[in-house]
Every structure is written in C-alpha cells, then in structure tokens.
C-alpha cells in the first residue's frame, strides 16, 4: 500500500536505509542531500519504506507543485524490489490532488509507458565505464578532444585539488551563469552549502586548472556515489575554454580513476553541444524520463501555458 507522508512524518533513518539498499540507489535521494537542495519535500511510501518517492515542492501562483531541485538530475521511485510499469503508475496516481503540477525526473530504473492522465519527456544521460585501463579508454577519445588535451599541455596548465568551492562557483556565475536559466541567488547558496557538506562527508573530488601565470581557468566538482562518480558542477573561464582547461581536467580525473569498478556519470545534457563534448570521451548514452502530470482544469492549464509557467 502506498501512503502520502508530510515531511515531518517521515522516518529519515528508514528512508535512508531504503535509498542505500535500493537496487537503483542514487545520492540525490538521501534525506540529508534533499535537505540541502530544497526547502520543502514530502513523500510517497510503500509498505514501511520498501519503496519511496520523494516529492520536492514549491507554492506559486496559488498552486502547489512538484519540481526538480538544483543538482538532482534524477529522482523518482527507489526500491529494494523490481520496479515495474505498474508500480510506477501506482506511485504517480498516488500523488495527492493538492499538487496541481508535477514536473520531475524519474530515474533510469523507472520503466514507463503511455498514459492518458500524464506524459513523459525524454532526457539524456551520458556514462563512461571506468573498469578498463587508461590507454584503452583514451583510444576511444575523439580527435578533437585529443587535440584540446594536447593544447592544454602545451599551454603548461596545472591542476590543484586545494581550491575553495566558491571560486569555481563564481567562475561559472561570471561566465556561463548569464546564459543558463534556472540558477537563482538562492540556488548558488544551496550549491555552496551542499559542496561543503560533501567535503565533510569525504564524498566530493574538487579539482581546478591554472595557467602558468596562476590564473584560475576552470574547475569541477565530482561526487562519489556508490559505484559511480557524478560530474555535478563545473566552472570555466573564456581563457580556460581557449586553452583546453575542461578537457584537461576531465581527462586527468579519468586517468586517475580508471581500472576501477566505477561509472563516470557525466549527468548528460539535453544540450547538443554539451552532450557532444561528453560523448567525445567515448561515453555511452542512457535515457530517463521526466514526468509531466497536471491535476488542474483545462482552463487553468491553458492560462499557465500562455504565461509560460508549464
């Protein structure tokens, strides 16, 4: 039986045990992680935490809606049992009517099928198997990627693992931040708090590239999660782009972590240019669905679409 629990009713010990023991465990769904990336979240629970479904939500324009928080690529259903199409449908239909809009990503282990009451959008994830040796991995790099790595070496770039997270976040804000929609001032604060929590837990690798003049060119945060490394966030300057800083940093991480039972999860991108860069490392495509479920009248739905809210 699936029940709805408000945030204060959730047993977080049982919740985290479910996430940790689930066949499709992801760091995004742990209670402590969710506490950093969203102010409010409720949940659907099946049979004393056998399966769970986090519901981060906000209230705006008089509507309560479920959304995808910053730095959580996939959520959805987590379970220690097989997740079937029927189970996915049962959880979706158990979302209380008070949540008028649901726009949230499921995960790659949540099978879906068409339904007249809700719909799905397709999302791309890109992953690289690190279980083989570096030379074999490097042989699958694109020619352009190899050129950019060599360019970085010719420019005498260096790497440091002792960089304040704020510097990398500021690098993103001052360069790519103006082009990327969706990051608010509050989101940047959440990212900083999350990264420091991950540092305390020993779950994040921070690396940054510097020019021979000691200018910060680029940096990235990579989370260690069970059997995968997740490329969670990065920053890059124009000079860094010209000198191949990001290919240099990613290649360095791959070289240092090959021959391991790990997956390098680039987190994918629906942006063709970013996806192309990730694929240039010889990575493979995987897909997961974004749920779109509207429990509102047709009139309200039309108005919200005209306002660009859904």
Residues of the chain with CATH 3.40.630.30: 131-261
Whose CA is closest to 289, among 89, 18, 100? 89
Q: Is 269 or 281 the better-scoring residue by pLDDT?
A: 281
* pLDDT band at residue 270 using 50, 70 and 90 as cut-offs: confident
Whether 241 shows a pLDDT value over 60: the answer reads yes
Count the Cβ atoms, other than its own, within 10 Å of residue 284: 11
* pLDDT band at residue 309 using 50, 70 and 90 as cut-offs: low
DSSP-derived pairing of the beta strands 158-160 and 204-210: antiparallel
Whether 275 shows a pLDDT value over 60: the answer reads yes
Residue that the structure tokens 């068409």 belong to: 114
What CATH class does 2-123+288-306 carry? alpha beta
pTM: 0.91
* pLDDT band at residue 307 using 50, 70 and 90 as cut-offs: low
- pLDDT tens digit sequence for 183-197: 788 889 999 999 999
Query: Bridge partners of 41?
Result: 56
- pLDDT tens digit sequence for 44-84: 999 999 999 999 999 987 789 999 999 999 999 999 999 99
CATH assignment of 131-261?
3.40.630.30
Instruction: State the average pLDDT for the chain.
Output: 92
Give CA–CA dist 184/193, Å, rounded.
14
Q: Is 182 or 7 the better-scoring residue by pLDDT?
A: 7
| H or E stretch at 240 | helix 238-242
Residue 217, helix vs strand vs coil = strand
134: which 2 tokens? Answer: 């570096």
> Average pLDDT in the 134-158 region?
96
* pLDDT band at residue 166 using 50, 70 and 90 as cut-offs: very high
Whether 303 shows a pLDDT value over 60: the answer reads no
Residue 304: the pLDDT is 64
Residue 20, helix vs strand vs coil = helix
Whether 310 shows a pLDDT value over 80: the answer reads no
Whose CA is closest to 265, among 136, 162, 130, 170? 130
């Amino acid at each position: 039986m699936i029940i709805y629990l408000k945030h204060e009713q959730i047993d977080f010990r049982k919740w985290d045990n479910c996430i940790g023991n689930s066949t499709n465990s992801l760091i995004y769904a742990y209670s402590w992680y969710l506490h950093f990336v969203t102010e409010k979240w409720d949940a659907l629970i099946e049979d004393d935490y056998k399966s769970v479904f986090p519901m981060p939500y906000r209230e705006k324009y008089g509507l309560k809606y479920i959304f995808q928080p910053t730095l959580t690529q996939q959520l959805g259903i987590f379970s220690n049992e097989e997740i079937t199409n029927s189970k996915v449908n049962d959880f979706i239909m158990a979302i209380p009517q008070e949540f008028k809009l649901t726009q949230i990503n499921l995960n790659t282990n949540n099978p879906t099928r068409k339904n007249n009451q809700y719909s799905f959008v397709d999302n791309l994830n890109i992953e690289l198997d690190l279980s083989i040796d570096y030379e074999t991995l490097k042989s699958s790099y694109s020619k352009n990627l190899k050129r950019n790595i060599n360019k970085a070496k010719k420019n005498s770039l260096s790497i440091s693992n002792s960089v304040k997270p704020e510097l990398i976040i500021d690098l993103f804000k001052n360069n790519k931040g103006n082009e990327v929609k969706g990051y608010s001032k509050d989101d940047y604060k959440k990212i900083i708090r999350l990264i420091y929590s991950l540092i305390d837990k020993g779950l994040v690798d921070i690396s940054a590239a510097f020019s021979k003049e000691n200018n910060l060119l680029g940096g990235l945060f990579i989370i260690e999660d069970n059997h995968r490394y997740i490329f969670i966030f990065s920053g890059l300057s124009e000079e860094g782009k010209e000198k191949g800083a990001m290919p240099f940093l990613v290649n360095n991480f791959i070289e240092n972590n090959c021959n391991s039972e790990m997956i390098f999860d680039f987190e994918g991108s629906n942006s063709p240019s970013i996806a192309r860069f990730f694929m240039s490392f010889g990575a493979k495509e995987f897909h997961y669905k974004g749920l779109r479920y509207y429990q509102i009248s047709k009139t309200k739905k039309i108005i919200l679409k005209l306002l660009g809210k859904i």
